[in-house]
Amino acid sequence: MEIEFTRRAFKEWKEWKKSGNEKIIKRIAELTQAILQDPFSGIGKPEPLKHQ
């Protein structure tokens, strides 16, 4: 599986990395890893897409 970031998400990711806030950076990495392992359940409280 491959994850695609929107331009906004990528920009925000770079800003978090630049901030040096290790707690947030670690949490983003954990969420990203959880998405790759099982995109339909996990630590991020996933919801089905609406209006589709």
| Residue 8, token pair as written in the block | 């906004």
b/e 24-47 (16+ beta carbons within 10 angstroms → b): eeeebeeeeeebeeeeeeeeeeee
Model confidence pLDDT, tens digit, residues 7-48: 999 999 999 999 999 999 999 999 888 888 887 776 766 677
**Could you give the CA distance from residue 29 to residue 50 in angstroms, rounded to a whole number?**
26
Q: Which residue has the higher pLDDT, 6 or 38?
A: 6
Decide: 43 and 31 in contact? Cβ < 8 Å. Answer: yes
